[in-house]
Chain A
Amino acid sequence: MSISWAFPTKCEHFPRRQLNPPRPHQNKNPRLQNLSNLRRPKNRCRQSQKRRPQPSFLNQKADPKDSRKNQEAALKRLDALARLERQAKADAAAKAIAANGNKTGATSAHQIKGNEVSRGNSLTGLTRLDHDRYLDDIEMRIRKMWSPPKFLAKASLRVRVVLFINSQGIIIEHKVVQSSGNSVFDDSAVAAIESAQPFAPPPDSLESLLAQQGVELDLEPAGYR
């Protein structure tokens, strides 16, 4: 059996391996003839727009440079979560020791304080889901509002902005921590961030983190080839 390969249509990217193309719908049963009209060919333009590479470490089709950056991004996110978890566990441990009678002295419950975040939280399960979902929401809102100029599409620019958000989802402050070197590009990113607010009110586990340490936005749009 020969597999017939297909050329990409105008809006689609040609994948390295293509699964079996859809067979024409064959309906021998005349009563079901009309159903064949329901099977319309897929609108590949819309599909390919949905399938743009997402900044997720699960995207295996990313090229090595992208996947390294995505992995770094994923690592940073995991680290932030791990730190919060450790702090929460240490707090719980301290409470347990204190509750069991503090016969060994205060030093045993003394914790080394790194970046201090809201106490008494544990970020597992549903809380972690809220955390991820909230950050994804911010990302989506900013991405919708951002239209950098086309003449910069091939310039490989990157700007990093730290954003502080209050408990109502309004921006307290934004700080450009790493400029792209191009003020037009930086301005377009900041304008997008400002116009993407108000964001949703953050979940409790994130509230003080967002207000005090903020969230870092790493904006590096890939232009077209």
Chain B
Amino acid sequence: MKTSFAVFVLILSIMSQLGGMNVASAQNAGAYIRITDAKFKKSLMALPAFQFQGVSAASPQHLKIGKDLFDVFRNDMEVSGYFDFIKPDAFLEDTVQTGLRPVGQEQNGFNFSSWKQISTDFLVRVGYRINGDDLSVDTYTYFVPQAKLVLGKTYRAKVGDTRTLAHSFANDVIKELTGTKGMFLSRIVTSRSTKPGQKEIFIMDWDGSNSKQVSSHKSIAVSPTWSGDGKTIAYSAFAFHANDKRRNLDLFTYDTTTGRRFLVSYRKGINSGSTFFPDGRNLLLTISNSGNPDLFKMSLDGKSLDRVTNGPRGAMNVEPSVSPDSSKIAFSSDRNGRPHIFVMNVDGSNVRQITIAGEYNSSPRWSPDGQRLVFAGFDKSHFDIFTVNADGSDMVRLTSAKKQNGKMADNEDPSYSPDGRHVLYISNRTGANQLYISTIDGEVERRITFDNSSYFKPHWSPAFD
């Protein structure tokens, strides 16, 4: 009896030990801690002035080019939201005298230790040469804690393309650190007031520079949008129809490379809120000639038309946006009373309401990775920009601003940057609508335009490289 009991205990203990070892995965440590939360912080960048490396002394014109290069690059780095800058008077080296490379590679080189001492994470050393019309820029980007060269590249361009060169350099630095290129070569198309009662279409760089007017209808031109390859713009403008003796909101396309313009749809009523399909062969827009403003898929020549939404009667279906994988459409509709954001399959089926809160939610746009939507929502007294998952969960507010009179400002018409890191929108906090961008976590906000006109419905271009 006692023997069998002892054997029983023995077997039990064997089984319990074996059982325990089977369930646990092979790991040496007996205790385990998992951390899924960390405070990410900006890296410290040391950006000394760019060195002129000509044979003769630099002319004022040369120095201006160097300054433009520097200002554009620094602005790009700041807007990325990844860097804080060390003040030049904290530098321990005289960067005018020391070379662009470390002591081991150059006689007059710099010492990593003098940069480590001031807690530098990234050191960027740039030199430039100008030969007549040709600009050549040598760049060296170092990660100081590991004394390693992260990016060493030379850029060449004509003197007139200084800004483009600086933007390319900024894009490459961001690509090296994060794996995806920055948006610094991208552009914005927008409707802008020119005279009282007139609005025209303008194109500018993402930072507001190089603004060019591309329409002159001398009426009201609105809702511009870029094609996926960035070559064509579609927009709507009020044009006078002589037969009907009335103005009609017609759809135009404008080829930015040739400057040619086409009248694509002049059906009676509204032809507006257009957006390109990702393959660039069709447009999705609101057309109202059948009674209700509904969404239609239309060929680029305006001829073939496929209905995508059908009322219900009395409802408006407007402001569509096609997802980057062409599977879904987000749009705004007041079919349930107030305007809300809806998502449906690209064939018009499976319509689901995304926003439930608020009185007025409009102008949805997809993020470049197709995971989230950005839209403008009216909250008690004013519009703000929100992002939300495609299923309506995890809504985040991006903006919150006050006007000078203390009231809350309206922030509207949002659009994602091509790298998905920023959102562009209009805000009337200074009085008239001006363009602003913000990082997608809402932390860093930047004003882009500084003038007295009013902007409407801007659209951020695709990446141009």
Contact = CB atoms under 8 A, between A and B. Distances in A.
Interface of A: 5-10, 12-14, 16, 52-55, 66, 69-70, 73, 75-77, 79-80, 82-84, 86, 90, 93, 97, 103-105, 107-108, 110-112, 114-115, 117, 131, 135, 138-139, 142-143, 146-155, 162, 183-184, 187, 206, 209-210, 213-225
A93 B400 CA distance: 66
Contacts of A215: 29-33
Interface of B: 2-3, 5-7, 9-10, 13-14, 16-18, 20-21, 23-25, 27-43, 80-82, 121, 143, 145-146, 174, 177-179, 356-358, 371-372, 377, 379-380, 384, 386-388, 393-400, 440-442
A108 B12 CA distance: 11
Contacts, number: 205
B10 A214 contact: no
Contact of B31 (A112, A135, A146, A147): A135
Contact of A162 (B29, B388, B441): B29
B335 to A, nearest CB: 19
Contacts of B397: 7-10, 12
A209 B28 CA distance: 10
Contacts of B395: 7-8, 13-14
A135 B5 CA distance: 40
Contacts of A155: 178-179
Given A108-B10, A150-B42, A66 B396 contact: no
A5 B356 CA distance: 8
Contact of A76 (B25, B28, B380): B25
Contacts of A66: 36
Contact of B121 (A53, A149, A216): A149
A110 B14 CA distance: 10
A92 B395 CA distance: 55
Contact of B41 (A115, A149, A210, A224): A149
Nearest to A162: B29
16 contacts: A8-B396, A10-B397, A13-B394, A14-B388, A14-B394, A55-B36, A76-B32, A79-B24, A112-B13, A135-B31, A139-B33, A214-B31, A219-B38, A221-B37, A225-B394, A225-B440
A73 B29 CA distance: 13
A103 to B, nearest CB: 6
Contacts of B396: 8, 13-14, 225
A158 B21 CA distance: 26
Contacts of A151: 43, 80, 82, 174, 177-178
A153 B174 CA distance: 13
Contact of B43 (A146, A150, A220, A223): A150
A73 B34 contact: yes
A139 B38 CA distance: 11
Contacts of B21: 114
A114 B25 CA distance: 13
A-B residue pairs, 6 tightest by C-beta = A14-B395, A108-B6, A221-B38, A5-B357, A104-B6, A79-B24
Given A151-B177, A225-B372, A138 B33 contact: yes
Given A7-B384, A13-B396, A66-B36, A209 B358 contact: no
A153 B42 CA distance: 10
Contact of A108 (B9, B143, B177): B9
B357 A209 contact: no
B36 A220 contact: yes
A155 B393 CA distance: 22
A208 B356 CA distance: 56
A83 B17 CA distance: 8
Given A86-B20, A104-B3, A149-B82, A222 B36 contact: yes
A142 B35 contact: yes
Nearest to B393: A16
Contacts of A103: 2
B123 to A, nearest CB: 15
A84 B34 CA distance: 20
Contact of A184 (B41, B143, B384, B393): B143
A148 B20 CA distance: 37
Nearest to B178: A151
B146 A216 contact: no
Contacts of A150: 40-43, 81-82
A127 to B, nearest CB: 14
B41 A79 contact: no
Contacts of A216: 27, 29, 31-33
Contacts of B440: 224-225
A149 B40 contact: yes
A217 B41 contact: no
Contacts of A138: 33
B357 A225 contact: no
Contacts of B33: 135, 138-139, 142, 215-218
B10 to A, nearest CB: 6
A14 B5 CA distance: 61
A210 B32 contact: no
Contacts of B35: 55, 139, 142-143, 146, 217-221
A50 B9 CA distance: 50
A55 B40 CA distance: 18
B177 A213 contact: no
Contact of B37 (A70, A104, A143): A143
B178 A154 contact: yes
A73 to B, nearest CB: 4
